A and B are shown apart, each in its own frame.
Chain A
């Protein structure tokens, strides 16, 4: 499977980031396993330790299996000032997880991230590719319910 994804791209080093994204997005658990790194390493002739360095440098990549939906709550100063801490507390209680963990039903993984570029609507979070702004604790409950039903 990993080899197939790799072969969609030319075997040049600058394609590493694209291949990593593709592999992570197509994996049902949204992560990059060491088997995947081995396959990429062979395809691009990049040592596995270098790929691991890249993969842990960018917070968008994960080396651990994750849930169906990935929540990324912004922890940058504007969101923090506008109360992202309260949102984080609410999300933790709602999902029964700590930061970086996946809910028992495998539906949600809760992560923190750097600025999402919509500070005007702080506090902000992303769930998968959708951005949710002007968050309140009540709004968070609704959003989570909606996403859960959507699945």
Chain B
């Protein structure tokens, strides 16, 4: 049991539990202690020393991030000595940092830049000792630039502890210590799943997404090309915050207007294919339930999760839904259905996806995702890249008049929009699975048990005519591991999975916390974006995927029925087995339906 203790910080009397550190206590009361490597979402590594404070009775300053509070503690956060310590520390960090702020992806978002500015650091106080190292461009998703790295270790913590991906590590020691992949093989030859959580927590621009803006602008400005754009559910609740709107503003129609102004020829919506995914995956799920299948069905939308599964759980690849992700379904339909309906040569279509995700860049490049006869998705831009694009185009996003999307593949239900939050795919699927089994719609479509930020959520839903459907939802890959280990164990010992249906999202919070989301993407912001999606769901006229009129139309005019031969050909895929050392394919794990 935590005891309450009395602590004085800069003369303010605080009553806090003794489990807190000094920095946590200070944050709780709005006292800001300068910091660099500390992040409230992650356990402290105490690497940088910037958060030093003085304590009555202690001969040396202590790091506030890793010093627990104690009864009667008197802390001072500002003094001549502390100011000079902090300044020197930041000057030393800068002496080994490539200072190229104006062109850096993290400019104005960089925690080192802000801190150096706040502390009034002298850039010439120390001689530059930076030895230029090669930038790791091997990955399709993430660029790792060791010259900008300050060795705070946040990426290592998030990669190894939050995501349990085990791609990054500290290598060497002393002045040579640096972040690296095993044997310096590069991100592309490591178990990295491209989730991009390292880019979210990197305080500088050392880890960032691969920039694909140039080829997209090129296509937009090429009159020969028909450039079509889709946007993931979570984009509409994260764009506003970058343009001075309140956190969690729901802005789909401003988003369409901005994209049209940028010059995209057709602006539609990934939420449409989210609804379509529900019908394909829901049908697959119901077939398994009815057949009394002992192996579970696991969602397949999250590309970070898919590569993680291929690397660490390939023995369970047959349990993962064969349905492509909403992005890839949209990609393949853009070059088939949309091209046909609008009489456009698919060779001239350039398909761009705006995603909250760095792993989507890897997914788009998977050679097997080309069932249209072309690469289904040509370019993926993260939310951060779209923000840069909107700024480059000089668009006043907050004040742009709202516009409707282009028809055909843009109508969406509330079920489609909640895909962006953890538990959303499960909830959307249950709403439609209930209908597929019973022929009736749920009275209350809101399934609270699968909402919220608990790492693993479980629920049992009573479906008349079938019985109890047991489901689990995991977000963050360390939580995915917990669920997958139980599935593996259940199958091995009882011949049965503990759950029928499982949703897994690679990123904590789901897509609202994706690796491509705007900077300042901490757990608290993710929760606010998630709530905004549930609000949009409540406000939409249609809240069930199977009631989406454009989905009904595409089955009538093109696909036939869910899981029809054409649907299986275009909308479903297969998976590989990958090496845990290199992340490279070793063999095919499952096969495509015929």
B-binding residues in A (CB < 8 A): 34, 37-38, 41, 47-53, 56-57, 63
Please give, as numbers and ranges, the residues of chain B lying within 8 Å of A53 by CB-CB distance.
Answer: 169-171
Q: In the complex, which of the residues B166, B169, B191, B580 has the most CB atoms of chain A within 10 Å of its own CB atom?
A: B169
A48 touches which of B173, B180, B580 (Cβ 8 Å): B580
Cβ-defined contact, B166 with A47, below 8 A = yes
Interface residues of B in 134-179 (CB under 8 A from A): 160, 166-173
Q: Which of the residues A37, A41, A48, A52 comes within 8 Å of B171, measured between beta carbons?
A: A52
Cα A38 to Cα B579 with chains together (Å): 10
Instruction: Verify B166–A49 contact, CB threshold 8 A.
Output: yes
What are the 7 tightest A-B residue pairs by CB atom distance, in nearest-first order?
A47-B166, A52-B182, A49-B169, A53-B169, A56-B171, A49-B182, A48-B182
Decide: B169 and A50 in contact? CB cutoff 8 A: yes
Q: In whole angstroms, how far apart are the Cα atoms of A50 and B191 in the complex? A: 13
Question: B581 on the interface (CB 8 Å rule)?
Answer: yes
Q: For residue A51, which residue of chain B has the nearest CB?
A: B182
Does B181 count as interface, using CB distance less than 8 angstroms? yes
Rounded to whole angstroms, the CA-CA distance of A52 and B160 in the bound complex is 14
CB within 8 A of A49: which of B172, B173, B181? B181
Residues of the A chain whose Cβ atoms lie less than 8 Å from the Cβ of B581: 34, 37-38, 41, 48
For the complex, is B300 an interface residue (Cβ under 8 Å from A)? no
Q: Give chain B residues whose Cβ lies under 8 Å from the Cβ of A63.
A: 183
15 further A-B contacts with Cβ under 8 Å, apart from A49-B160, A52-B180, A53-B170, are: A47-B160, A47-B166, A49-B167, A49-B168, A49-B191, A51-B182, A52-B169, A52-B182, A52-B183, A53-B169, A53-B171, A57-B170, A57-B171, A57-B172, A63-B183
A57 touches B182 (CB 8 A): no
Report B's interface with A, CB cutoff 8 A: 160, 166-173, 180-183, 185, 190-191, 580-581
Nearest A residue to B579, CB-CB = A38
Residues of A within 8 A of B169 (CB): 49-50, 52-53
Task: Collect the chain B residues with CB atoms within 8 Å of residue A38's CB.
Answer: 581
Q: Which residue of chain A lies nearest to B181 when distances are taken between CB atoms in the complex?
A: A49
Residues of A within 8 A of B171 (CB): 52-53, 56-57
Pick the most buried of A47, A49, A53, A63: most chain B CB atoms within 10 A of its CB.
A49
Shortest Cβ distance from B484 into chain A, in angstroms?
Answer: 16
Which residue in chain A gives the minimum CB-CB distance to B176? A56
Within 8 Å CB of B190, what residues of A?
A: 49
- Chain B residue with the shortest CB-CB distance to A114: B174
Q: A48 and B166: CB pair below 8 A?
A: yes
List, in ascending order, chain B residues with CB within 8 A of A48's CB: 166, 182, 580-581
Instruction: Among A37, A50, A56, point to the contact of B166 (Cβ < 8 A).
Output: A50
Docked Cα-Cα span, A63 to B171, in Å, equals 12
Name the residue on B nearest A56 (C-beta): B171
Q: With a CB–CB cut-off of 8 A, which chain A residues contact B160?
A: 47, 49-50
**Could you list some 9 contacts between A and B, CB below 8 A?**
A37-B183, A48-B580, A52-B183, A53-B169, A56-B171, A56-B173, A57-B170, A57-B172, A63-B183
A53 and B182 CA atoms in complex are apart in Å by 8
CB distance from A114 to the nearest CB of B (A): 10
Q: How far is the CA of A50 from the CA of B580 in the complex (A)?
A: 13
| Chain B residue with the shortest CB-CB distance to A58 | B173
A34 with B183, Cβ < 8 A, contacts A48-B581, A49-B167, A49-B190 known: yes
Complex Cα distance, B582 from A37, in Å, reads 12
User: CA A50 – CA B160 in complex, angstroms?
Assistant: 9
Q: How far is the CB of B146 from chain A (nearest CB, A)?
A: 14
Minimal beta-carbon separation of A35 from chain B (angstroms): 9
Chain A residues near B180 (CB, 8 Å)? Answer: 52
> Which B residues are in CB contact (< 8 Å) with A51?
182
Enumerate chain B residues within 8 angstroms of A57, measured Cβ to Cβ.
170-173
Interface centre among A38, A41, A56, A63 (most CB of B within 10 A): A56
A78 to chain B, nearest CB (A): 19
Q: How far is the CB of B564 from chain A (nearest CB, A)?
A: 43
Cβ–Cβ contact A34 & B173, under 8 A = no
B182 touches A37 (CB 8 A): yes
Residue of A nearest to B171 (CB): A56
The smallest C-beta distance from A38 to any residue of chain B, in angstroms, reads: 5
**B153 smallest CB distance to A (angstroms):** 11
Docked CA distance A53–B153 (Å): 13
CA distance A48 to B168 in the complex (A): 10
Q: Which residue of B lies closest to A37 (CB)?
A: B182
Contacts of B168 in A (CB 8 A): 49
Task: Output the least CB separation between A4 and chain B (Å).
Answer: 20
A5 to B102, CA, bound (A): 53
Residues of B with C-beta under 8 A to A52:
169, 171, 180, 182-183
Known contacts A48-B580, A48-B581, A56 near B167 by CB under 8 Å: no
Once the chains are docked, how many angstroms separate the CA of A37 from the CA of B171?
A: 15
